[in-house]
Structure 1
Amino acid sequence: MTTQPATHSPRASGAAGAAGAAGAAWVRPVGRPPALWRLVLARGALELRQFFRERDAVVFTFALPAVLLILLGSIFDTQLNDRAIVPGIPASQLLTAGMIAAGIASTSFVNLAIGICSDRDDGTIKRLRGAPMPPIAYFLGKVILVLVTALAEVAIVMTVGIALFDLRLPTDLGHWLTLAWVFLLGVTGCALLGVAMSSVPRSIRSAAPVVNLPFLVLQFISGIFIVPITELPSLFQHVAALFPLKWMAQGFRSVFLPDSGVALEPAGAWEHGRIALVLSAWCIGGLILCLTTFRWRSRRDS
């Protein structure tokens, strides 16, 4: 699953609006700097407005995971005997849990990396640095955008899974808590990696293929499109275990599948402790990558 987010083409007025809304508009007459949380909320609101104004990109971003789930879920359920890999668990339900993870990674890693690359390429970030706004407000505004879009993505994919493939919602607090911490760690880790990845493409023209290629590969080797993951060659399973997408998908399977589904995991266990450890490690590693690799200027301005 690859996504092509909005590139925010009308940047001249958008950047000026960003600087005004998140900077000068908040300067009080007495000269005191505005509270950081107000700047963050202003920047986050601006990011959301810019995103939802690009209606075609919004539809594509939210519809693609649902469409892929409908197509692949129907194909898997038709091809596999008795519509189940193990009794009581249709292949489409395995696919739904994995597609939730892929949707989160798409909105946080892919969209964020390409969006920041666009901001850098058209000079938006450079102009914002001249506004009375601390740099952290820009990144936290992006976090608000990612959280809102990721929650919407999860809700859409879950709705499709429930309506078409009899996906069962958790019935106890423990499973809901697992859903919450896997979501938060997954969004955080993928968002930080997206910020770091934004420095790799040389320009916005190359951003989409550069960012989408590793994401597409990880989807195949992490058991998103091929279920169960044990059907993959062991080499692919070992490589996928190094990245967060595989563990996010496994965490969501532990939430939405019955206990018998654990037999489909390579280790024969849900491994919640390892999931938390790997995702937390990627949060820390992603932060280090952001601090050491992020560029404020495009390469042509260096």
Structure 2
Amino acid sequence: MSTATPGTTATLGTTLALGAHRAGYELRGYFRSSDTLFFTFLFPVLMLGLFSTVFGGSGDITGGPGVAAISAAQLYLPGMMAAGLLLSGFQNLAIDIATERSDGTLKRLGGTPLSPVSYFAGKLGEVLVTGLLQAALLLAAAAFIFHVPLPSTVEAWGTFAWVFLLGLTASALLGIAVSALPRSARSASAVVVPIGLVLQFVSGVYLFFWLLPDWLQNLASVFPLVWMARGLRAVFLPAEYATLEPGGEWNLGWVALVLAGWLVIGVIVSRLTFRWNRRDA
């Protein structure tokens, strides 16, 4: 027998309905912003093209002894995909929410029936839709422009699906949490962008992870981007490339565990730090 009461069901239904309505509103605003569209959708594709051209001009390259040589585009695709998830979730949301708090948007929303849960749901809905579109664009460019072979098994695409969803959701929730740090809209980019940029350089996006010093690999492995990129490498790179990873295997169980852990941390910190008003208001 269900223990839910009619009032609880109605409250849940209202929360979800407001979240869905808010997601639609967020998406309309998102697609009206040309600069956001460029950096979210085209930046990973442009970076994939740049790195493929710079490092692939002499033909296929290899990650090390005993592994097959593949195109630079295929080598860089997992990292660029992971970076795109970080941009869509962490960076965009952190800056967006900090700006809304600074310009008084959140204060006005706090006076409406919109709950923080509905507000979060709207932001997560926007990130999910835009993240899917961005991933589709990047995969299409990789396949049709750079001739990267895409996975051909259901298992590989299943791995891609859960790494994508866990990574994107964890990134979004951490973006909500970090949005509490900037004290103004003007400082939001200055606070958030360097964090994302440093994480990309030490997490195997622009530099092959196996070429980094062991101490830097260990330090970077504390953060979720390393595991997002590692899970995506398991999808898009040949199986023998697992020997270049720490421990000599993809270790997808740890990928799932770490990303799920950061998702939980994001939920807790977001709920503890989120305020409709600025801290100095």
| Same-fold status (TM-score > 0.5) | yes
Give the corresponding residue for 2:279: 299
1:202 aligns with 2:180: no
Instruction: State the SS of the aligned residue for 2:280.
Output: helix
Give the corresponding residue for 2:7: none
Deviation at 1:266, TM superposition (A): 2.4
Mark the CA change 1:47 to 1:188 in structure 2 (over 3 Å): closer, same or farther: same
The CA distance in 2 between the partners of 1:89 and 1:262, in whole Å, is 14
Question: Alignment partner for residue 30 of structure 2, among 18, 27, 51?
Answer: 51
Deviation at 1:298, TM superposition (A): 1.2
Report the AA paired with residue 105 of structure 1.
L
The list of structure 1 runs, each at least 4 consecutive aligned residues, that deviate by more than 6 angstroms after superposition, is: none
The CA distance in 2 between the partners of 1:230 and 1:56, in whole Å, is 34
Higher mean Cα deviation, 157-166 or 49-58? Answer: 157-166
1:149 aligns with 2:130: yes
- Matched-pair contact (CA < 8 Å) for 2:177–2:269: yes
Give the corresponding residue for 1:3: none
Gaps of 5+ in 1: 1-31
Deviation at 1:136, TM superposition (A): 1.4
Deviation at 1:157, TM superposition (A): 1.5
- Matched-pair contact (CA < 8 Å) for 2:242–2:248: yes
1:256 aligns with 2:241: no
- Matched-pair contact (CA < 8 Å) for 2:60–2:69: no
Task: Spell out, residue by residue over 1:228-282, the C-alpha distance to the aligned partner (whole angstroms, 9 max, x if none).
Answer: x111111211111101101101101111112122122222101001101110110
Give the corresponding residue for 1:18: none
The CA distance in 2 between the partners of 1:278 and 1:206, in whole Å, is 30
The CA distance in 2 between the partners of 1:53 and 1:146, in whole Å, is 15
Deviation at 1:84, TM superposition (A): 3.3
Give the corresponding residue for 2:92: 111
Instruction: State the SS of the aligned residue for 1:267.
Output: helix
Task: Spell out, residue by residue over 1:70-126, the C-alpha distance to the aligned partner (whole angstroms, 9 max, x if none).
Answer: 0012112126x7433332422321211110010011110000000111111111111
The CA distance in 1 between the partners of 2:34 and 2:191, in whole Å, is 24
Give the corresponding residue for 1:73: 52
1:127 aligns with 2:108: yes
Deviation at 1:55, TM superposition (A): 2.2
- Matched-pair contact (CA < 8 Å) for 2:60–2:70: no
Report the AA paired with residue 37 of structure 1.
L
Mark the CA change 1:115 to 1:157 in structure 2 (over 3 Å): closer, same or farther: same
The CA distance in 1 between the partners of 2:73 and 2:272, in whole Å, is 41
- Matched-pair contact (CA < 8 Å) for 1:89–1:261: no
1:173 aligns with 2:154: yes
The CA distance in 1 between the partners of 2:244 and 2:139, in whole Å, is 21
RMSD: 1.7
Deviation at 1:291, TM superposition (A): 2.1
Give the corresponding residue for 2:4: none
The CA distance in 1 between the partners of 2:121 and 2:251, in whole Å, is 31
TM-score normalized with structure 2 length: 0.90
The CA distance in 2 between the partners of 1:55 and 1:216, in whole Å, is 21
Gaps of 5+ in 2: 1-9
- Matched-pair contact (CA < 8 Å) for 2:156–2:235: yes
